[in-house]
């Protein structure tokens, strides 16, 4: 089980031999509660306007093909949690717990688990933990993974999303033309006038 924070690169991992809801949900709740407890509470002024809190939640539901029903009373939104599109992640008890603690679940599309950056991190950890190794028992695999995660968190690497939107932004930056000695830029190159000089040798 892996919980990854792309912004700072830190990862929380627990090795298990089976992962039913009775194992997954208590672990996620415990880890999310610890993260929220260490996160500064939202400012009271953020929800001063009536309905402002619900508008923030509704904004993150826009564009979803399946929109979970929000609670009547919602706390300030504090976290976005990207999850695979599995039935176990959508149980009413678990989703209501997330809502009550200010966590909005965002599910990847079916067949699109690669959109979850924890998948990329897991591949990195797997190579570091298992390449060249021949484990004899599941507890060895778990111990190796946990050791790799401990080493990773000593100098974590933040992740940045590199999907289609990032590609469009990169192409937009490439079309810009920097101006010498300035932080400004233009979308078209500035024409440089080349002075014309006539030369004639005196006879």
- Residue 150 reports pLDDT greater than 90: yes
- pLDDT value, residue 14: 92
User: Within a domain: residue 65?
Assistant: yes
The Cα-based distances of 89 to 22, 95, 149 in angstroms read 12, 8, 24
Strand duo 79-83 + 103-107: pairing = parallel
The model's pLDDT over 172-192, given as tens digits with 9 standing for 90+, comes to: 766 666 666 566 666 666 666
Q: What is the CATH number of the domain that holds 11?
A: 3.30.420
The total number of structural domains that make up the chain: 1
User: Within a domain: residue 200?
Assistant: no
Instruction: From 47, 52, 102, select the one nearest 74 (Cα to Cα).
Output: 102
The pLDDT of 84-97, averaged and rounded, is 90
**Could you list the residue range(s) of the whole structural domain that residue 51 is in?**
2-154
User: Within a domain: residue 178?
Assistant: no
- pLDDT value, residue 27: 95
User: Within a domain: residue 196?
Assistant: no
The Cα-based distances of 186 to 1, 165, 168, 170 in angstroms read 48, 21, 18, 15
The model's pLDDT over 98-145, given as tens digits with 9 standing for 90+, comes to: 999 999 998 888 777 777 888 888 889 999 999 888 888 999 999 999
- pLDDT value, residue 194: 58
User: Within a domain: residue 93?
Assistant: yes
User: Within a domain: residue 185?
Assistant: no
User: Within a domain: residue 97?
Assistant: yes
- pLDDT value, residue 37: 94
User: Within a domain: residue 140?
Assistant: yes
Structure tokens at 43: 């400012």
């Amino acid at each position: 089980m892996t919980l990854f924070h792309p912004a700072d690169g830190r990862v929380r991992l627990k090795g298990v031999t089976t992962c039913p809801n009775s194992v997954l949900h208590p672990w996620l709740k415990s880890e999310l509660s610890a993260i929220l407890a260490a996160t500064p509470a939202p400012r009271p002024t953020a929800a001063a306007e009536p309905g402002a809190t619900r508008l923030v939640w509704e904004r993150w539901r826009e564009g979803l093909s399946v929109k979970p029903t929000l609670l009547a009373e919602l706390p300030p939104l504090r976290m976005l949690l990207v999850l695979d599109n599995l039935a176990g992640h959508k149980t009413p008890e678990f989703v209501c717990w997330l809502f009550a603690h200010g966590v909005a679940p965002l599910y990847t599309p079916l067949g699109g688990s690669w959109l979850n950056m924890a998948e990329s991190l897991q591949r990195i950890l797997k190579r570091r933990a298992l390449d060249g190794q021949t484990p004899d028992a599941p507890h060895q695999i778990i111990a190796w993974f946990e050791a790799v995660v401990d080493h990773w968190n000593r100098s974590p690497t933040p992740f940045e999303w590199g999907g289609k939107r990032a590609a469009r932004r990169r192409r937009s930056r490439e079309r810009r033309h920097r101006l010498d000695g300035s932080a400004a830029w233009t979308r078209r190159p500035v024409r440089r006038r080349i002075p014309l000089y006539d030369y004639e040798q005196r006879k």
